[in-house]
Structure 1
Amino acid sequence: MPESALLAVSFGAAARDYDRYRSGPPAQALDWVVPADCRCVLDLAAGTGLLTRQLADLVEDVVAVEPDARMREVLALTCPEATVLAGTAEAVPLPDRRVEAVTVSAAWHWMDPAAALAEIARVLTPGGTLGVLYTRRDRRVPWVDRLDAFVHREMGTDDRIGDLIRRMNEGPWLPEGVPFTATEAHAVSWTAVLTVEEIVAMFGTYSRFITLPEGRKRELAEAIEAEVRASVPTWQGQVLMPMVCYCWRTRLTADSPSGALS
Protein backbone atom coordinates (compact mmCIF):
# COMPACT_ATOMS: atom_id res chain seq x y z
CA MET A 1 0.00 0.00 0.00
CA PRO A 2 1.41 3.47 -0.87
CA GLU A 3 2.59 5.57 2.07
CA SER A 4 -0.14 8.17 1.48
CA ALA A 5 -2.79 5.44 1.68
CA LEU A 6 -1.29 4.08 4.91
CA LEU A 7 -1.35 7.55 6.44
CA ALA A 8 -4.94 8.11 5.33
CA VAL A 9 -6.18 5.01 7.18
CA SER A 10 -3.98 5.47 10.26
CA PHE A 11 -6.34 7.61 12.31
CA GLY A 12 -8.52 4.77 13.53
CA ALA A 13 -5.64 3.53 15.68
CA ALA A 14 -6.03 6.72 17.73
CA ALA A 15 -9.76 7.29 17.22
CA ARG A 16 -10.67 8.11 20.82
CA ASP A 17 -7.72 10.46 21.29
CA TYR A 18 -8.55 12.05 17.93
CA ASP A 19 -12.07 12.76 19.14
CA ARG A 20 -10.87 14.08 22.49
CA TYR A 21 -7.97 16.30 21.45
CA ARG A 22 -8.72 17.54 17.93
CA SER A 23 -10.65 20.79 17.50
CA GLY A 24 -13.76 20.87 15.35
CA PRO A 25 -14.84 23.95 13.40
CA PRO A 26 -16.43 26.79 15.40
CA ALA A 27 -20.15 27.53 15.15
CA GLN A 28 -19.51 30.69 13.13
CA ALA A 29 -17.86 28.61 10.40
CA LEU A 30 -20.87 26.31 10.15
CA ASP A 31 -23.21 29.29 9.98
CA TRP A 32 -21.25 30.51 6.96
CA VAL A 33 -20.89 27.14 5.20
CA VAL A 34 -24.31 25.54 5.77
CA PRO A 35 -27.37 27.38 4.40
CA ALA A 36 -29.83 28.42 7.10
CA ASP A 37 -32.69 26.57 5.39
CA CYS A 38 -30.75 23.33 4.85
CA ARG A 39 -32.80 20.24 5.73
CA CYS A 40 -30.36 17.43 4.92
CA VAL A 41 -26.57 17.41 4.92
CA LEU A 42 -23.82 14.89 4.19
CA ASP A 43 -20.65 15.06 6.30
CA LEU A 44 -18.07 13.39 4.08
CA ALA A 45 -14.98 11.75 5.61
CA ALA A 46 -16.66 12.48 8.93
CA GLY A 47 -14.01 10.90 11.16
CA THR A 48 -15.21 10.62 14.75
CA GLY A 49 -17.92 13.23 14.22
CA LEU A 50 -16.30 16.46 15.40
CA LEU A 51 -18.29 18.30 12.74
CA THR A 52 -21.17 15.82 12.51
CA ARG A 53 -22.28 16.51 16.08
CA GLN A 54 -22.51 20.21 15.39
CA LEU A 55 -24.41 19.61 12.17
CA ALA A 56 -26.92 17.46 14.08
CA ASP A 57 -27.74 20.50 16.22
CA LEU A 58 -28.48 22.56 13.11
CA VAL A 59 -29.96 20.23 10.51
CA GLU A 60 -32.77 17.70 10.82
CA ASP A 61 -31.31 14.98 8.57
CA VAL A 62 -27.56 14.33 8.88
CA VAL A 63 -25.69 11.56 7.05
CA ALA A 64 -22.06 10.86 7.96
CA VAL A 65 -19.85 8.83 5.62
CA GLU A 66 -16.48 7.58 6.90
CA PRO A 67 -14.20 4.82 5.51
CA ASP A 68 -12.49 3.75 8.77
CA ALA A 69 -14.54 1.36 10.92
CA ARG A 70 -12.75 2.42 14.11
CA MET A 71 -13.58 6.07 13.49
CA ARG A 72 -17.18 5.15 12.61
CA GLU A 73 -17.53 3.31 15.92
CA VAL A 74 -16.72 6.47 17.88
CA LEU A 75 -18.88 8.53 15.53
CA ALA A 76 -21.92 6.31 16.02
CA LEU A 77 -21.52 6.45 19.80
CA THR A 78 -21.07 10.21 20.00
CA CYS A 79 -23.69 11.19 17.42
CA PRO A 80 -26.59 8.71 17.42
CA GLU A 81 -28.75 11.31 15.67
CA ALA A 82 -26.79 10.88 12.44
CA THR A 83 -27.07 8.10 9.88
CA VAL A 84 -23.54 6.65 9.82
CA LEU A 85 -22.41 4.83 6.68
CA ALA A 86 -19.21 3.22 5.43
CA GLY A 87 -17.93 4.83 2.26
CA THR A 88 -15.51 7.24 0.65
CA ALA A 89 -15.69 10.56 -1.15
CA GLU A 90 -15.05 8.72 -4.40
CA ALA A 91 -17.87 6.20 -3.79
CA VAL A 92 -20.64 7.78 -1.72
CA PRO A 93 -23.30 5.23 -0.67
CA LEU A 94 -26.26 7.54 -1.32
CA PRO A 95 -28.79 7.89 -4.14
CA ASP A 96 -28.79 10.81 -6.56
CA ARG A 97 -29.92 14.20 -5.27
CA ARG A 98 -30.14 12.96 -1.68
CA VAL A 99 -28.76 15.99 0.23
CA GLU A 100 -28.86 19.78 0.09
CA ALA A 101 -25.33 20.33 1.43
CA VAL A 102 -22.04 18.43 1.69
CA THR A 103 -19.32 19.25 4.21
CA VAL A 104 -15.69 18.10 4.19
CA SER A 105 -13.70 18.97 7.31
CA ALA A 106 -9.92 18.45 7.48
CA ALA A 107 -10.03 15.82 4.76
CA TRP A 108 -9.97 17.38 1.29
CA HIS A 109 -6.26 16.58 0.92
CA TRP A 110 -6.98 12.85 1.21
CA MET A 111 -9.47 12.89 -1.68
CA ASP A 112 -9.20 12.54 -5.44
CA PRO A 113 -10.73 15.92 -6.39
CA ALA A 114 -12.22 14.90 -9.74
CA ALA A 115 -13.75 11.66 -8.46
CA ALA A 116 -14.97 13.26 -5.23
CA LEU A 117 -16.57 16.19 -7.05
CA ALA A 118 -18.34 13.79 -9.41
CA GLU A 119 -19.90 12.01 -6.45
CA ILE A 120 -20.68 15.24 -4.60
CA ALA A 121 -22.40 16.61 -7.72
CA ARG A 122 -24.39 13.39 -7.99
CA VAL A 123 -25.74 13.36 -4.43
CA LEU A 124 -26.42 17.12 -4.18
CA THR A 125 -29.71 18.66 -5.16
CA PRO A 126 -29.42 21.38 -7.85
CA GLY A 127 -28.14 24.54 -6.19
CA GLY A 128 -26.84 22.54 -3.23
CA THR A 129 -23.78 23.67 -1.29
CA LEU A 130 -20.34 22.11 -0.87
CA GLY A 131 -18.38 23.40 2.11
CA VAL A 132 -14.71 22.57 2.76
CA LEU A 133 -13.18 23.44 6.13
CA TYR A 134 -9.74 23.25 7.74
CA THR A 135 -9.36 23.96 11.46
CA ARG A 136 -5.81 24.44 12.69
CA ARG A 137 -3.49 26.36 14.95
CA ASP A 138 -3.03 29.87 13.58
CA ARG A 139 0.49 29.91 12.13
CA ARG A 140 0.18 33.63 11.41
CA VAL A 141 1.07 34.03 15.11
CA PRO A 142 4.90 33.84 15.40
CA TRP A 143 5.16 31.53 18.41
CA VAL A 144 2.58 29.15 16.93
CA ASP A 145 4.53 29.10 13.67
CA ARG A 146 7.74 28.29 15.55
CA LEU A 147 6.06 25.47 17.49
CA ASP A 148 4.56 23.90 14.38
CA ALA A 149 7.86 24.24 12.51
CA PHE A 150 9.61 22.45 15.39
CA VAL A 151 7.14 19.56 15.27
CA HIS A 152 7.42 19.26 11.49
CA ARG A 153 11.23 19.11 11.77
CA GLU A 154 11.05 16.45 14.46
CA MET A 155 8.64 14.36 12.38
CA GLY A 156 10.51 14.97 9.13
CA THR A 157 7.42 16.41 7.44
CA ASP A 158 6.40 19.63 5.75
CA ASP A 159 3.22 21.66 6.20
CA ARG A 160 1.36 20.39 3.16
CA ILE A 161 -1.98 21.40 4.66
CA GLY A 162 -0.73 24.96 5.00
CA ASP A 163 0.47 24.87 1.40
CA LEU A 164 -2.94 23.58 0.28
CA ILE A 165 -4.76 26.30 2.22
CA ARG A 166 -2.61 28.97 0.60
CA ARG A 167 -3.37 27.62 -2.87
CA MET A 168 -7.09 27.45 -2.12
CA ASN A 169 -7.07 31.04 -0.84
CA GLU A 170 -4.99 32.45 -3.68
CA GLY A 171 -7.08 31.40 -6.65
CA PRO A 172 -9.46 28.90 -8.26
CA TRP A 173 -8.88 25.36 -7.00
CA LEU A 174 -11.79 23.44 -8.48
CA PRO A 175 -10.89 21.52 -11.66
CA GLU A 176 -12.02 23.12 -14.89
CA GLY A 177 -15.39 22.03 -16.23
CA VAL A 178 -17.00 21.00 -12.95
CA PRO A 179 -20.65 22.08 -12.50
CA PHE A 180 -19.97 24.29 -9.48
CA THR A 181 -19.94 28.04 -8.99
CA ALA A 182 -16.76 29.97 -8.21
CA THR A 183 -15.60 29.29 -4.65
CA GLU A 184 -15.97 31.83 -1.86
CA ALA A 185 -13.48 31.94 1.04
CA HIS A 186 -13.88 32.89 4.69
CA ALA A 187 -11.89 32.50 7.93
CA VAL A 188 -12.94 32.43 11.58
CA SER A 189 -10.40 33.01 14.37
CA TRP A 190 -10.74 32.22 18.07
CA THR A 191 -8.68 31.14 21.09
CA ALA A 192 -8.67 27.65 22.58
CA VAL A 193 -7.64 27.21 26.22
CA LEU A 194 -5.41 24.12 26.45
CA THR A 195 -3.04 22.49 28.89
CA VAL A 196 0.48 21.53 27.86
CA GLU A 197 -0.55 17.89 28.08
CA GLU A 198 -3.49 18.47 25.74
CA ILE A 199 -1.23 20.13 23.17
CA VAL A 200 1.17 17.18 23.23
CA ALA A 201 -1.75 14.74 22.95
CA MET A 202 -3.18 16.72 20.03
CA PHE A 203 0.05 16.34 18.06
CA GLY A 204 -0.16 12.63 18.83
CA THR A 205 -3.32 12.34 16.71
CA TYR A 206 -1.61 13.23 13.43
CA SER A 207 -1.00 10.48 10.90
CA ARG A 208 2.79 10.79 10.85
CA PHE A 209 2.92 10.44 14.64
CA ILE A 210 0.43 7.56 14.75
CA THR A 211 2.49 5.50 12.29
CA LEU A 212 5.79 5.90 14.16
CA PRO A 213 7.30 3.03 16.19
CA GLU A 214 6.28 3.16 19.86
CA GLY A 215 9.75 4.10 21.08
CA ARG A 216 9.97 7.00 18.66
CA LYS A 217 6.48 8.15 19.70
CA ARG A 218 7.63 8.43 23.32
CA GLU A 219 10.78 10.33 22.32
CA LEU A 220 8.83 12.72 20.12
CA ALA A 221 6.14 13.34 22.74
CA GLU A 222 8.85 14.19 25.28
CA ALA A 223 10.55 16.54 22.80
CA ILE A 224 7.28 18.30 21.99
CA GLU A 225 6.43 18.71 25.67
CA ALA A 226 9.86 20.16 26.39
CA GLU A 227 9.52 22.60 23.49
CA VAL A 228 6.04 23.71 24.58
CA ARG A 229 7.17 24.29 28.17
CA ALA A 230 10.27 26.19 27.02
CA SER A 231 8.84 28.41 24.29
CA VAL A 232 5.05 28.69 24.49
CA PRO A 233 3.53 31.51 26.58
CA THR A 234 1.19 30.35 29.33
CA TRP A 235 -1.45 32.02 31.47
CA GLN A 236 -2.21 30.52 34.88
CA GLY A 237 -0.67 27.25 33.74
CA GLN A 238 -2.65 27.09 30.50
CA VAL A 239 -1.95 27.94 26.89
CA LEU A 240 -4.17 30.37 25.01
CA MET A 241 -3.84 28.75 21.59
CA PRO A 242 -4.74 30.95 18.61
CA MET A 243 -6.93 28.94 16.23
CA VAL A 244 -8.34 29.58 12.79
CA CYS A 245 -10.88 27.79 10.62
CA TYR A 246 -10.48 28.35 6.89
CA CYS A 247 -13.70 27.79 4.95
CA TRP A 248 -14.69 27.61 1.31
CA ARG A 249 -18.11 27.16 -0.23
CA THR A 250 -19.44 26.60 -3.71
CA ARG A 251 -22.81 25.63 -5.13
CA LEU A 252 -23.85 23.04 -7.66
CA THR A 253 -25.18 24.91 -10.66
CA ALA A 254 -28.96 24.76 -10.67
CA ASP A 255 -29.20 23.21 -14.14
CA SER A 256 -26.68 20.41 -13.49
CA PRO A 257 -28.10 16.98 -14.31
CA SER A 258 -27.55 14.23 -11.74
CA GLY A 259 -24.19 12.57 -12.28
CA ALA A 260 -22.97 15.42 -14.50
CA LEU A 261 -19.32 14.46 -14.02
CA SER A 262 -19.75 10.72 -14.54
Structure 2
Amino acid sequence: MAEIPSLPQRAFTVDAARRTELASAFQSGADSYDKIRPSYPPQALDFALQARPRTAVDIGCGSGIFTEQLASRGLEVSAVDPSADMLRVLAERLPQVARTCAAGEDTGLPENAFDLVSYAQAWHWVDHAKASAEAARLLRNDGWLTLLWNQLDVTIPWVHRLARIMHAGDVHRPELEPPLGTQFEKPEHGIWHWSMELDFAEIIELTKSRSYYRRSSENTRTKVEGNLAWYWLDHLGHAAGDKVQVPYLTHAWRARRRTRR
Protein backbone atom coordinates (compact mmCIF):
# COMPACT_ATOMS: atom_id res chain seq x y z
CA MET A 1 0.00 0.00 0.00
CA ALA A 2 1.31 3.44 -0.89
CA GLU A 3 2.29 5.77 1.89
CA ILE A 4 -0.38 8.27 2.88
CA PRO A 5 1.09 11.73 2.26
CA SER A 6 1.45 14.09 5.21
CA LEU A 7 -1.74 13.23 7.07
CA PRO A 8 -1.86 14.46 10.65
CA GLN A 9 -1.93 11.69 13.22
CA ARG A 10 -4.41 13.36 15.54
CA ALA A 11 -7.49 11.24 14.94
CA PHE A 12 -7.82 10.19 18.58
CA THR A 13 -6.34 13.23 20.33
CA VAL A 14 -9.10 15.85 19.99
CA ASP A 15 -9.76 17.42 23.39
CA ALA A 16 -13.12 16.84 25.06
CA ALA A 17 -14.51 20.35 24.49
CA ARG A 18 -13.70 20.29 20.77
CA ARG A 19 -15.05 16.74 20.44
CA THR A 20 -18.34 17.78 22.03
CA GLU A 21 -18.58 20.84 19.81
CA LEU A 22 -18.04 18.86 16.61
CA ALA A 23 -20.29 15.97 17.65
CA SER A 24 -23.17 18.40 18.24
CA ALA A 25 -23.33 18.80 14.46
CA PHE A 26 -25.17 15.48 14.29
CA GLN A 27 -28.04 16.41 16.58
CA SER A 28 -30.01 17.30 13.43
CA GLY A 29 -29.90 16.62 9.71
CA ALA A 30 -30.14 12.84 10.06
CA ASP A 31 -32.10 12.37 6.82
CA SER A 32 -29.41 13.94 4.63
CA TYR A 33 -26.68 12.07 6.53
CA ASP A 34 -28.45 8.77 5.99
CA LYS A 35 -28.99 9.43 2.30
CA ILE A 36 -25.32 9.88 1.40
CA ARG A 37 -23.21 7.91 3.90
CA PRO A 38 -22.18 4.46 2.63
CA SER A 39 -22.62 1.08 4.27
CA TYR A 40 -19.70 -1.25 5.00
CA PRO A 41 -18.35 -4.00 2.72
CA PRO A 42 -19.42 -7.58 3.47
CA GLN A 43 -15.84 -8.54 4.36
CA ALA A 44 -15.82 -5.94 7.15
CA LEU A 45 -19.08 -7.34 8.49
CA ASP A 46 -17.59 -10.85 8.40
CA PHE A 47 -14.60 -9.50 10.34
CA ALA A 48 -16.90 -8.08 13.01
CA LEU A 49 -18.87 -11.33 13.29
CA GLN A 50 -16.00 -13.81 13.29
CA ALA A 51 -16.85 -15.01 16.81
CA ARG A 52 -20.48 -15.73 15.76
CA PRO A 53 -22.20 -13.36 18.19
CA ARG A 54 -25.91 -13.68 18.82
CA THR A 55 -26.48 -10.31 20.50
CA ALA A 56 -24.94 -6.94 19.66
CA VAL A 57 -25.19 -3.31 20.64
CA ASP A 58 -24.23 -0.74 18.00
CA ILE A 59 -23.05 2.37 19.85
CA GLY A 60 -22.86 5.69 18.04
CA CYS A 61 -25.20 4.01 15.59
CA GLY A 62 -26.26 7.22 13.87
CA SER A 63 -29.08 6.57 11.41
CA GLY A 64 -28.53 2.82 11.63
CA ILE A 65 -26.37 2.07 8.61
CA PHE A 66 -24.23 -0.58 10.32
CA THR A 67 -27.04 -1.54 12.70
CA GLU A 68 -29.05 -2.68 9.69
CA GLN A 69 -26.16 -4.78 8.43
CA LEU A 70 -25.86 -6.50 11.82
CA ALA A 71 -29.61 -7.18 11.90
CA SER A 72 -29.48 -8.59 8.36
CA ARG A 73 -27.21 -11.37 9.67
CA GLY A 74 -29.81 -12.46 12.20
CA LEU A 75 -28.37 -10.84 15.32
CA GLU A 76 -30.52 -9.46 18.11
CA VAL A 77 -29.36 -5.84 17.93
CA SER A 78 -29.73 -2.82 20.20
CA ALA A 79 -28.79 0.69 19.09
CA VAL A 80 -27.37 3.60 21.08
CA ASP A 81 -26.79 7.18 19.95
CA PRO A 82 -26.86 10.62 21.63
CA SER A 83 -28.87 12.11 18.75
CA ALA A 84 -32.64 11.71 18.90
CA ASP A 85 -32.85 12.76 15.25
CA MET A 86 -30.50 9.97 14.18
CA LEU A 87 -32.53 7.46 16.20
CA ARG A 88 -35.72 8.72 14.54
CA VAL A 89 -34.33 7.75 11.13
CA LEU A 90 -33.11 4.42 12.52
CA ALA A 91 -36.59 3.69 13.89
CA GLU A 92 -38.10 4.21 10.44
CA ARG A 93 -35.60 1.75 8.96
CA LEU A 94 -35.51 -0.78 11.82
CA PRO A 95 -38.62 -0.53 14.00
CA GLN A 96 -37.79 -3.86 15.66
CA VAL A 97 -34.45 -2.63 17.04
CA ALA A 98 -34.36 -1.40 20.65
CA ARG A 99 -33.08 2.19 20.77
CA THR A 100 -31.41 4.14 23.56
CA CYS A 101 -30.61 7.85 23.37
CA ALA A 102 -27.36 8.02 25.34
CA ALA A 103 -23.62 8.56 25.11
CA GLY A 104 -21.25 5.65 24.58
CA GLU A 105 -19.59 6.30 27.91
CA ASP A 106 -22.82 5.67 29.86
CA THR A 107 -25.48 3.75 27.96
CA GLY A 108 -27.59 2.65 30.93
CA LEU A 109 -27.96 -0.81 29.38
CA PRO A 110 -27.63 -3.97 31.49
CA GLU A 111 -24.19 -5.47 32.09
CA ASN A 112 -23.03 -8.80 30.68
CA ALA A 113 -25.80 -8.58 28.07
CA PHE A 114 -24.02 -8.66 24.70
CA ASP A 115 -21.60 -10.76 22.66
CA LEU A 116 -20.54 -7.80 20.51
CA VAL A 117 -20.19 -4.06 20.97
CA SER A 118 -19.66 -2.16 17.71
CA TYR A 119 -18.68 1.42 16.94
CA ALA A 120 -19.00 2.25 13.24
CA GLN A 121 -17.62 5.70 12.40
CA ALA A 122 -17.93 6.68 16.06
CA TRP A 123 -14.99 5.77 18.30
CA HIS A 124 -13.39 9.19 17.75
CA TRP A 125 -16.48 10.80 19.33
CA VAL A 126 -16.05 9.25 22.79
CA ASP A 127 -13.73 9.37 25.76
CA HIS A 128 -11.80 6.18 25.09
CA ALA A 129 -11.10 5.17 28.67
CA LYS A 130 -14.73 5.64 29.73
CA ALA A 131 -16.15 4.10 26.57
CA SER A 132 -13.82 1.09 26.93
CA ALA A 133 -14.99 0.58 30.50
CA GLU A 134 -18.62 0.80 29.42
CA ALA A 135 -18.11 -1.60 26.51
CA ALA A 136 -16.42 -4.07 28.84
CA ARG A 137 -19.31 -3.77 31.30
CA LEU A 138 -21.83 -4.52 28.56
CA LEU A 139 -19.96 -7.52 27.17
CA ARG A 140 -20.07 -11.08 28.36
CA ASN A 141 -16.77 -12.77 29.12
CA ASP A 142 -14.79 -13.18 25.87
CA GLY A 143 -17.13 -10.82 24.03
CA TRP A 144 -15.70 -8.58 21.32
CA LEU A 145 -15.45 -4.85 20.68
CA THR A 146 -15.27 -3.94 16.98
CA LEU A 147 -14.44 -0.47 15.63
CA LEU A 148 -14.93 0.40 11.96
CA TRP A 149 -14.39 3.39 9.69
CA ASN A 150 -15.18 4.10 6.07
CA GLN A 151 -12.86 6.73 4.65
CA LEU A 152 -11.74 8.17 1.36
CA ASP A 153 -8.72 6.23 0.11
CA VAL A 154 -6.14 8.97 0.49
CA THR A 155 -3.30 6.71 -0.60
CA ILE A 156 -4.39 7.98 -4.06
CA PRO A 157 -3.12 11.56 -4.59
CA TRP A 158 -6.23 13.03 -6.24
CA VAL A 159 -8.44 11.54 -3.50
CA HIS A 160 -6.10 12.87 -0.83
CA ARG A 161 -6.53 16.38 -2.21
CA LEU A 162 -10.30 15.93 -2.43
CA ALA A 163 -10.37 14.87 1.23
CA ARG A 164 -8.43 17.98 2.22
CA ILE A 165 -10.82 20.26 0.34
CA MET A 166 -13.81 18.50 1.90
CA HIS A 167 -12.21 18.76 5.35
CA ALA A 168 -12.86 15.06 5.81
CA GLY A 169 -11.86 15.01 9.46
CA ASP A 170 -12.43 11.28 9.91
CA VAL A 171 -9.63 10.47 7.47
CA HIS A 172 -6.60 9.18 9.33
CA ARG A 173 -3.85 6.65 8.90
CA PRO A 174 -5.27 3.10 8.81
CA GLU A 175 -2.27 1.79 10.75
CA LEU A 176 -2.99 4.19 13.63
CA GLU A 177 -4.26 1.79 16.29
CA PRO A 178 -7.20 3.20 18.24
CA PRO A 179 -6.75 3.57 22.00
CA LEU A 180 -8.51 0.91 24.08
CA GLY A 181 -8.75 0.31 27.81
CA THR A 182 -6.90 -2.45 29.59
CA GLN A 183 -10.15 -4.44 29.69
CA PHE A 184 -9.36 -5.56 26.13
CA GLU A 185 -6.66 -7.63 24.49
CA LYS A 186 -4.53 -6.15 21.69
CA PRO A 187 -6.80 -5.48 18.70
CA GLU A 188 -6.59 -7.25 15.35
CA HIS A 189 -6.74 -5.10 12.21
CA GLY A 190 -8.50 -5.53 8.87
CA ILE A 191 -8.60 -3.30 5.78
CA TRP A 192 -10.62 -3.48 2.55
CA HIS A 193 -10.50 -1.30 -0.59
CA TRP A 194 -13.59 -0.49 -2.64
CA SER A 195 -15.19 2.44 -4.46
CA MET A 196 -18.37 4.49 -4.34
CA GLU A 197 -19.92 5.95 -7.50
CA LEU A 198 -20.60 9.67 -7.03
CA ASP A 199 -21.46 12.68 -9.17
CA PHE A 200 -20.71 16.28 -8.23
CA ALA A 201 -24.03 16.86 -6.43
CA GLU A 202 -23.33 13.78 -4.30
CA ILE A 203 -19.79 15.00 -3.53
CA ILE A 204 -21.39 18.18 -2.19
CA GLU A 205 -23.93 16.18 -0.15
CA LEU A 206 -21.15 14.01 1.27
CA THR A 207 -19.29 17.16 2.28
CA LYS A 208 -22.43 18.56 3.92
CA SER A 209 -22.72 15.41 6.04
CA ARG A 210 -19.41 16.09 7.81
CA SER A 211 -19.04 17.83 11.13
CA TYR A 212 -16.65 20.50 9.82
CA TYR A 213 -19.15 21.73 7.24
CA ARG A 214 -22.11 21.52 9.61
CA ARG A 215 -20.36 23.60 12.26
CA SER A 216 -18.96 26.20 9.82
CA SER A 217 -20.21 29.68 9.01
CA GLU A 218 -22.13 30.33 5.81
CA ASN A 219 -19.07 32.08 4.41
CA THR A 220 -16.86 29.04 5.05
CA ARG A 221 -19.44 26.69 3.56
CA THR A 222 -19.60 28.79 0.39
CA LYS A 223 -15.82 28.73 0.15
CA VAL A 224 -15.67 24.94 0.58
CA GLU A 225 -18.31 24.40 -2.10
CA GLY A 226 -16.51 26.79 -4.45
CA ASN A 227 -13.20 24.99 -3.94
CA LEU A 228 -14.89 21.65 -4.62
CA ALA A 229 -16.47 23.00 -7.81
CA TRP A 230 -13.07 24.18 -9.05
CA TYR A 231 -11.36 20.91 -8.15
CA TRP A 232 -14.01 18.47 -9.40
CA LEU A 233 -15.25 20.33 -12.48
CA ASP A 234 -12.28 22.40 -13.62
CA HIS A 235 -9.14 20.70 -12.32
CA LEU A 236 -10.26 17.05 -12.61
CA GLY A 237 -12.42 17.85 -15.66
CA HIS A 238 -15.58 15.96 -14.73
CA ALA A 239 -18.99 17.14 -15.93
CA ALA A 240 -21.43 17.79 -13.09
CA GLY A 241 -23.52 14.74 -13.95
CA ASP A 242 -20.64 12.34 -14.50
CA LYS A 243 -20.66 9.31 -12.21
CA VAL A 244 -17.11 8.77 -10.97
CA GLN A 245 -15.77 5.81 -8.99
CA VAL A 246 -14.35 7.42 -5.85
CA PRO A 247 -11.89 5.09 -4.08
CA TYR A 248 -12.66 4.26 -0.46
CA LEU A 249 -11.27 1.98 2.15
CA THR A 250 -12.74 0.46 5.27
CA HIS A 251 -10.51 -0.27 8.18
CA ALA A 252 -11.50 -2.02 11.37
CA TRP A 253 -10.17 -3.35 14.63
CA ARG A 254 -11.59 -6.09 16.82
CA ALA A 255 -10.50 -6.80 20.38
CA ARG A 256 -11.61 -9.52 22.77
CA ARG A 257 -12.74 -8.58 26.24
CA ARG A 258 -10.40 -10.01 28.87
CA THR A 259 -12.04 -12.58 31.11
CA ARG A 260 -13.35 -11.19 34.38
CA ARG A 261 -11.65 -12.57 37.43
Give the direction of change, closer, same or farther, for the CA distance of 1:161–1:139 in structure 2 (3 Å limit): closer
Change (3 A) 1:23 1:188: same
- 1:100 corresponds, among 109, 115, 140, to 115
With the length of structure 2 as denominator, give the TM-score of the two structures: 0.86
Q: Is the 8 A contact 2:56 2:78 kept in 1?
A: yes
Which has the larger helix fraction?
Answer: 1
Unaligned runs of 5+ in 1: 153-157, 258-262
Instruction: Identify the match of residue 231 of structure 1 among 230, 235, 245.
Output: 235
Q: Distance in 2 between matches of 1:145 and 1:161?
A: 9
Query: Residues 32, 160 of structure 1: CA spacing in aligned structure 2 closer, same or farther, 3 A cutoff?
Result: closer
Which residue, out of 246, 252, 256, partners 1:247? 252
Structure 1 residue 110 and structure 2 residue 120: aligned? no
For the residues of structure 2 that align with 1:218 and 1:160, how far apart are their CA atoms?
Answer: 21
User: How far apart are residue 234 of structure 1 and its match?
Assistant: 5.3
CA offsets 1:76-97 (integer angstroms, 9 cap, x no match): 1112231111111110121111
What residue identity is the alignment partner of 1:162? H
Q: Does the alignment pair 1:198 with 2:208?
A: no
Aligned residue for 2:93?
78
Work out the percentage of aligned pairs sharing the same amino acid.
29
After superposition, the Cα gap between the structure-2 partners of 1:159 and 1:19, relative to the gap in structure 1 and judged at 3 Å, is closer
Confirm or deny: 8 A CA contact 2:194 2:249 kept in the other structure: yes
Unmatched runs of 5 consecutive residues or more in structure 2: 1-15
Let me know the Cα RMSD of the aligned residues. Answer: 2.1
Residue of structure 2 equivalent to 1:260: none
Alpha-carbon distance in 2 for matches of 1:233, 1:98:
53
Which residue in 2 is equivalent to 1:179?
183
Which 10-residue stretch deviates more, 79-88 or 117-126? 79-88
Q: Is the 8 A contact 1:232 1:239 kept in 2?
A: no
Contact 1:65 1:87 in 2 (8 A): yes
Flag the 1:150–1:89 CA change in 2: closer, same or farther, 3 A: same
Number of equivalent positions: 245
